[in-house]
Structure 1
Amino acid sequence: MIASTPPVVALTLGDPAGIGPELIARLLARPQTTAQANTVLVGDRWLWDEGQRIAGTAVELAPVASFDEVRGRPDTEKPAFLAMDTVQPGQVQRGQAQAAGGAAVLRVLDRCMDAARAGQIDAITFAPLNKHAMKQGGLRHDDELHHFAEYLGVTGYFCEFNTLNGLWTSRISSHVPLKDVPKYIEQQRIVEATTLIYRSLQANGVPAPRVAVAGFNPHNGDGGTCGREEIEVIAPAVAELNGLGMPVVGPFSPDTIFLRGRDGELDAIVTMYHDQGQIALKLMGFSQGVTVQGGLPVVITTPAHGTAYDIAGLGRANVDALANAFAIAARMGRGCPG
């Protein structure tokens, strides 16, 4: 793909019972959305119409019969629309996790991944989904990232990134019980996770990322009196990363490292477990954060928040996080190495 060609970004409507359809309607009503990419919406026509009704928008789409028709479109100001029949209105009860909705989400995402593997699209941004509904609908993994990795044949390290206002986070362990976290704290995992976020930031336009690694124990282990992971595992991993040419710093105490991030001193923080980073980022900007699926051969992004079943259909959902997710997908989908 030449630099002047806009990336092709596929959008999906997310869980049919959540806020996804109305968020997509608001996103596509923004002129700056189609200015960033050649956009193709993929999903059920009735669900798109329902999202527009809730959002109060009237966006005209350009129907296409296949992904093959998208990249060469002469006019990309109007979003393309690839219709799929995945779920019927009678199978969806707004505000509830249901198998039919989860199965529909999987079908749409899988078709988009097929298109990415075929070189027909460059990135995917999906509206919020619900893991419980997806598991009811056939998801065999703990989360969507592991489904993506298996579907795309990924054998290397992969993990979720969360980003807010230019600050990115990665984690050594993710959707696992807290009691199991210590077994994931291995030097090689830290090196792989940090390398992945470092390279991904470069792909997102940050030539020399400032990356720090968090400790695991209270007060960073207090010199080994409150845990030795910092001394025996994390610090050696940082030293190895430095030897590989990445000027990574740390470990820093988990209860203060995000102050550096908040104050603009860092581009990324590598954390040891899910909530170590998620709590901090969501406190700093719950309605703005983005999740990037790291380590995959295709760029995939989504808002960091969920389906918000409690406000689905009320027209109150904030589109900012979805807009941020789309912007990242467009930037990273321009042909930069991931």
Structure 2
Amino acid sequence: MTLADAPLAVTMGDPCGIGPEIVARMFVRRPDRRHWIVVGDPGVMAAALRAVDGQAQVRVIGEPGEVEIGNGALPVLASSRLATLPPVGQVSAAGGQAAYDAIVAAIDLAKRGRVRGIVTAPINKAALSAAGIRYPGHTEMLADHAGGCTVAMMLANEEIRTVLVTIHCSLADAIRRADFAAQMSALRLAQAAGVALGIPHPRIAVAGLNPHAGEDGLFGDEEIRIIRPAIEAARAEGIDASGPWPGDTVFMQARKGRFDIVVAQYHDQGLIPVKYMGIEKGVNVTLGLPFVRTSPDHGTAFDIAGRGLADPTSIETAFDYAMRMRVPTPAG
């Protein structure tokens, strides 16, 4: 089995949230797009399938190559086997551990070339913490287990793509961390993301850190000292970067088609514009990994878990986005 023929791996997410349900719904709703496996707990996924479609079955597999196109069963590679299913809609250490085990198993498959990429269902940070797992989110977990990669988060829909210079940290920390090296890393990863999406020469706009992009130093000088020199250095490398642009207008310009990707300085600056356009349309992409990884743009939604209300549109969008992306070429 070549990497191009390999299935995608979809992790089940936190078993106490809506992850298993949206994965099950995606399986039932899209019989024409079933070249994928679930990495997770067979009991959790069997319960989710029963709630969605009483006729659908789980088939436990040992390797991704055992997937049969057209087979009516949901292929699950067991990363855990819970003796008792944790309560739905509640933070659970068992749920956090099972979610983590699924992610680690999927990363191992991707590193070995057994799957062409990973689509991750939502996890819960409190559940991870209850299980003694100290990661602030998927991004850091993926980077660590993939070999300490330098990564960035890209949130995207059909109109806007934004790459973050800093991710999960306080705003005060983000200002400190948005140094020249972080700017260059984000710019290079944004360039690679554009190419992976079939844009040979992506137009990359860089948002300023301060209001009005600093107004020539009137509202802060990070644009002059750090961001502008990074843009000039990136242009010297052949990257079509421009800015720094005011953060309150650059996304509007991108939506109008002027830019392909916006590099944002901190989490909320980059994510609010995309999420405002509809969470069900947003996709989270981790850049810099040796494999493709996407996820839906929402959380575990404990408040509606187990009630049959979860909408799988976002994970379906994440799946389709992963299929569109070129698999990174292994180093060496």
1:13 aligned partner: 12
**Cα distance in 2 between the residues matched to 1:110 and 1:226:** 44
One-letter code aligned to 1:146: E
Counterpart in 2 of 1:87? 82
Mapped to 1, the partners of 2:19 and 2:83 lie a distance apart of 16
Q: Aligned letter for 2:221?
A: R
Name 2:112's counterpart in structure 1.
Answer: 118
- Please state whether the residue corresponding to 1:250 is helix, strand or coil: strand
Match of 2:61 among 38, 59, 64: 64
Query: In 1, Cα distance between the equivalents of 2:56 and 2:260?
Result: 36
Matched position secondary structure for 2:303: helix
Residue 122 of structure 1 aligns with an amino acid whose one-letter code is R
2:280 equivalent in structure 1: 287
Residues 26-80 of structure 1 show CA distances to partners (whole Å, capped at 9, x for unaligned) of 1112336626xx311122222112222333464455542233534xx5x366553
Q: Which of 320-329 and 80-89 deviates more? A: 80-89
CA contact (8 A) 2:291 2:328 kept: no
* Shift in CA distance, 63/49, structure 1 to aligned 2, threshold 3 Å: closer
Once residues 141 and 70 of structure 2 are traced to their aligned partners in structure 1, the CA distance between those partners, rounded to angstroms, is 31
Query: C-alpha displacement at 1:263, in angstroms?
Result: 2.3
The separation in 2 between residues aligned to 1:240 and 1:183, in whole angstroms, is 20
Q: Secondary structure at the match of 1:287?
A: helix
What's 2:263 paired with? Answer: 270
Contact 1:122–1:298 (8 Å) recurs in 2: yes
**Alignment partners' CA distance in 1, 2:211 and 2:155:** 23
Deviations 1:280-312 (A, max 9, x none): 111111222111111111212111110111111
CA deviations over 1:206-227 (Å, ceiling 9, x no partner): 2222211000111111111110
Distance verdict in 2 for CA 1:63–1:93, change over 3 Å: closer
Q: Aligned residue for 1:305? A: 298
Amino acid at match of 2:158: N
Q: Is the 8 A contact 2:128 2:135 kept in 1?
A: no
Name the residue aligned to 2:100. 106
Q: What residue is the counterpart of 1:240 in the other structure?
A: 233
2:45 — aligned with what? 48
On the 8 A contact 1:29/1:57 being kept in 2, the answer is no
Q: Which moved more, 1:188-197 or 1:50-59?
A: 50-59
- 2:188 counterpart residue number: 195
Please give the secondary structure, in 1, of the residue aligned with 2:88: coil
Aligned-residue identity in percent = 34
Shift of 1:96: 1.4
Q: Which stretch has the larger CA shift, 61-70 or 136-145?
A: 61-70
The two structures, once aligned, show a CA RMSD in angstroms of 2.2
Structure 1 pair 58–123 and aligned structure 2 pair: CA distance change class (3 A): farther
- Structure 1, 203-212 or 300-309: larger mean CA deviation: 203-212
Distance of 1:24 and 1:223 partners within structure 2: 49
2:216 is the alignment partner of 1:216: no
Change (3 A) 1:32 1:56: closer
1:137 counterpart residue number = 131
TM-score, length of structure 1 as denominator length:
0.90
2-side partners of 1:2 and 1:83: how far apart? 23
Give the SS at the match of 1:261.
Answer: helix
Cα distance, 1:262–1:77 mapped onto 2, change above 3 Å? farther
- Return the letter of the residue paired with 1:139: I
Q: Which residue of 2 aligns with 1:26?
A: 25
Name whichever of 78-87 and 5-14 sits farther off: 78-87
Q: Distance in 1 between matches of 2:114 and 2:287?
A: 20
2-structure distance, mates of 1:83, 1:274: 34
SS of the residue 1:93 aligns to: coil
* Structure 2 runs not aligned, ≥5 long: none
Write the deviation string for residues 156-179 of structure 1: whole angstroms up to 9, x where unpaired. x21211111252211111111112
- SS of the equivalent of 1:121 reads coil
Q: TM-score scaled by structure 2?
A: 0.91
1:97 aligns with 2:91: yes
Instruction: After TM superposition, give the deviation of residue 237 of structure 1 in Å.
Output: 0.9
Partner of 1:324: 317
Q: Point out where structure 1 has 5 or more consecutive residues left out of the alignment.
A: none
